[in-house]
Amino acid sequence: MGAIKDIFTAYGNEYISLFGHAMPHEHRKVIRAITTCRSSEHGLIVYTCRECGQRQSVFRSCGNRHCPTCQNHKTRQWLSHRLEEQVPTHHFMVTFTVPEPLRAFIRSNQRLCYEALFTASSSALKTLAANERFAGGDIPGFFGVLHTWGRQLTYHPHIHYIVPGGAYSTKDGYWHPSRPDFFVPVKALSPLFKARFKEEMKKAGLYASIPSEVWETPFNVNSQAVGGNENALRYLAPYVFKVAISDSRIVRVENHSVSFRYKKPGSERWRTMTLSAMEFIRRFLQHVLPSGFMKVRYYGFMHASSRVCLRDIILAVELASGFSRAVSRIPPEPPVYPVCPSCGGKLMYLYSILSLRKHPAMNSS
């Protein structure tokens, strides 16, 4: 078992007994998913070895997007797909963060506020990208992923956007590249983001409930150049399906407490924090998203309904930069196959049993 699963298996029922009366349904669902991941609860996958012919079976994972065990596979799948649609240019990671006085309010109104964060930040990016002083194209393209945690599992909602450096112009049909080290000015992006978020709060009928000091506090935006095409995507892929904390950061679980590693911003030195098991679970669960909420979103020419197809964008970028995709493209990482524990041969998929509890062979004894 992984460390996070161990923690929820050992203390999840106690947490439910203490706080179950006030727990959202999504939190109960996550606890059950993590504690039953890769167990008979979710059935079996049956393989056959290409070399020795033996059959091997493994328990299926829960598939929950908050389960650390299930995210590595999704990251690899996403990266493989994105590499097939890469825009061959430099990229930026632009991060939109809300001020501390607003965070408690957002936590109490998650679905509406998360929607507003996406709407306000994406529209601010589009507005400045279209400015002739910057990219100067009316169709930029980018995708964003919502995260809600800080390094100590505190509540800290923010959105990371991955942005190719430039924008396409429908006026002249050309790609307008940005500088490799500059996309749009964050000093202009920050107040625009705040103004758009305020508009969204008024539309949602929530503006009057927000403390007035929020609007006197800056809404921070950070823009970081992350280099060119494939390597940038490989670097950024873990951000997309990252969960609040990974198994590798857990130091120890003992005496009803959990110790984990973290780094302060701007420091490379690991530090250790120890929380009670109940507080650790509480901090973990506060990052569970509303049911059905889409935490990864695509905009501009990356959106499925874009009026300019991605292939035309890629051709325009190649023409603007002299970049040859066929020559310069780094091939995606090969798929990972399960290996036979008997001989080390490649295991080939045969079939799945979705639930062992409902399977006749598992219930006859």
**In a domain? residue 347:** yes
Buried b (16+ CB within 10 A) or exposed e, 324-334: eeeeeeeebee
Which residues does 257 contact at the CB level (< 8 Å), separation at least 6?
A: 274, 275, 276, 277, 280
Q: What is the pLDDT of residue 333?
A: 56
The answer to whether residues 126 and 139 belong to one domain is yes
Nearest to residue 311, comparing CAs of 140, 71, 58, 85? 85
**In a domain? residue 228:** yes
**In a domain? residue 12:** yes
**In a domain? residue 266:** no
The answer to whether residues 76 and 202 belong to one domain is yes
What is the helix (H) or strand (E) element at residue 276, kind and residue range? strand 270-276
Q: What is the pLDDT of residue 78?
A: 78
Residue ranges in the chain whose pLDDT is less than 70: 1, 72-73, 229-232, 236, 322-336, 356-365
pTM (2 decimals)? 0.87
Q: What is the pLDDT of residue 320?
A: 87
The answer to whether residues 173 and 58 belong to one domain is no
The answer to whether residues 182 and 113 belong to one domain is yes
The answer to whether residues 148 and 238 belong to one domain is yes
Domain that holds residue 51: 3-64+337-363
The answer to whether residues 225 and 117 belong to one domain is yes
Q: pLDDT tens digits for 74-131?
A: 777 777 777 777 888 999 999 999 999 999 999 999 999 999 999 999 999 999 999 9
The answer to whether residues 100 and 45 belong to one domain is no
**In a domain? residue 259:** no
The answer to whether residues 164 and 22 belong to one domain is no
**In a domain? residue 150:** yes
The answer to whether residues 10 and 105 belong to one domain is no
Please tell me the total count of domains within the chain. Answer: 2
**In a domain? residue 278:** no
Q: pLDDT tens digits for 30-76?
A: 999 999 998 888 899 999 999 999 999 999 988 898 998 887 667 77
- Cα–chain center distance at 341: 33
The answer to whether residues 60 and 74 belong to one domain is no
The answer to whether residues 143 and 39 belong to one domain is no
The answer to whether residues 188 and 152 belong to one domain is yes
**In a domain? residue 44:** yes
Q: What is the DSSP letter of 247?
A: G
